[in-house]
Chains A and B, each alone.
Chain A
Amino acid sequence: MLSSTAKNLYWMGRYLQRAKSTARLIEATQRMALQSRGEEAAGVAAIFGMEDEFRQTQEQGGRLASLIDFLVLDERNPSSIVSSIAAARSNAREERNNITVDVWESLNALWLELSTRLRSDRATLDRGALIESVKKQAVMIFGAAQVTLLRDEAYHFLQLGAFLERGDNTARILDVKFHLLRPDGNPNAGGLDFFAWSEVLACIGAVRTYRRIYRSALDPAKVAELMILRRDVPRSVHHCLWMVDLNMRELADVYGTHGEADRLAGELHTRLRYARVDKIFQIGLAKFLGGVRDDIATLSDEIGRQFLLD
């Protein structure tokens, strides 16, 4: 297999996951905005590291709707949903011969649908339906990958990309939201805003999961535990880094070599596996998540170096 194939599949996984996470996040934020104060736009902007851009659009009278259009439709924004799907589709297209017909056709169908929707007038464009469609079809594409792809190197690179991106997204959402709700970093201080915390969980689609696991009222420390440490929650940081480590080991088996990327993946996984939520709050949640996110970024670079993807 060519390095360029590994690279395309890795980025296909990342972009597809990015589109999916963004879709879910925006949906959760919109639902919140319907029933509360309307500070969500600033929070969303923070999650995407775009506070400055958002402030500028606000000065020009921008509101949540224009921010959402920037995140969903704007082709000039390389991380918008539309750009991410186009990028994932272009990666897949170059690797038509390395993925199954089912994966290609489901991704191509999503891209064709978005292209058609984008041609309609912005005033009448149904954003909700578009977001819903991205969410649903991304699940189908990952599902097609799960049940049809040969478990070879290509598959592991796709998984690596998807799980690295997903782990980073969850860490970022929690980091920003927690800071907005508890600026002092203390989970026990202040009144409990039920809607705000259920929104945090909704961003990763885990409201019901929380109830199943804890059978109790929403508690900030438990929300953090679920999103960071629960290995059985498929969007938790721990679960994602476990999968990253697992796929790195599969690749090491195939290639018979180890490098810095293998070490770092193992170290990150272990850190999440043995962490405790009370210790995390002692260190400081922002500091802990910041460290994890920096290491995820380093790991991505190391993967590129180790497998000649650059």
Chain B
Amino acid sequence: MRKLFLSMFAVSALAAGLSAGCTAQAAEVNVYSGREENLIKPVLDRFTAHTGIKVNLITAGADELTTRLELEGANSPADLLLTVDVGRLLRAKEMGLLQAVDSDVLESQIPAQYRDSEGEWFGVSLRSRVVVYDKERVNPAQLSTYEDLADPKWKGKICIRSSSNIYNQSMTAAMISHHGVEETEAWAKGLVANFARQPQGGDRDQIAAVAIGQCELAIVNTYYLAGMINATSAEQREQASKVAVFWPNQQDRGAHINISGAGLSAHAPNRSEAIQLLEFLVSDESQTWYAEANNEFPVRAGVPVSATLQSWGEFKADSLPLEQLGIHNAEAVRVMDRAGWR
């Protein structure tokens, strides 16, 4: 028994040493990704197939990865930081963790609004936070704007997830950017007063709650509904069939938009490979894949979107420079704390 233990220990120690020891030989690029493995690996595998460049991947929350990048400092192996929210990219930029990229491809393909003015981060896909409503009980003519959701006519009718969630923080940050802190706080208080229940669960849970009648409206990201419409579970498909999408603020500023994006790490050891990967992420092939597999909107105009997204029609997007979302993120959290948004 003792021998068995010792030999197993030796093997695992050796294996740990080996996996630590094998580094750079062939061309490769190291990615810290805030996007989960199954949502990014397929694109990275295609990149490897096209270029022969190996992609090494670590996935975790963007905040944790940013902390790791910061502490590892100049010796960090990371080349690219991928996040699913612009606020995190902006924070990484402010912490000096990113560097500017000068690329004609990126600048010509990505609209200016969806990339950093100094070239330190680039959006690669878009998502909108929209209102989903109960087709039976809500007349869409009554819906208009995000601002209107704080109106007492919606009392006890709105479902939304916790304010700890980054998408709600970004939406509130956009509101601050448009209306200032005071007005946003009044709006948040009105919205909280209209909640059908304490915030809980994820976006799919809010859609389900609308479907079974616990609330009439929910505020969710587009790809969650698209995911439910195309789900393997019949139950989720049925829930999704009971609701419809409403694009808010189409008469004024447009629907709230966020990006998933990437930035080149300040000390990237494989700079040119990393830029190749960035450019690949906005190529026709990757953009189509994002639109088909993840139900996100392509960051480039003219790329076809999935049938589900097409069925929701064209919409006007908020033209707010996305940097604003990052700038107001901490203030947004404070506003939501004060409004009692759990």
A and B, one complex?
Answer: no
**B residues neighboring A (CB under 8 Å):** none
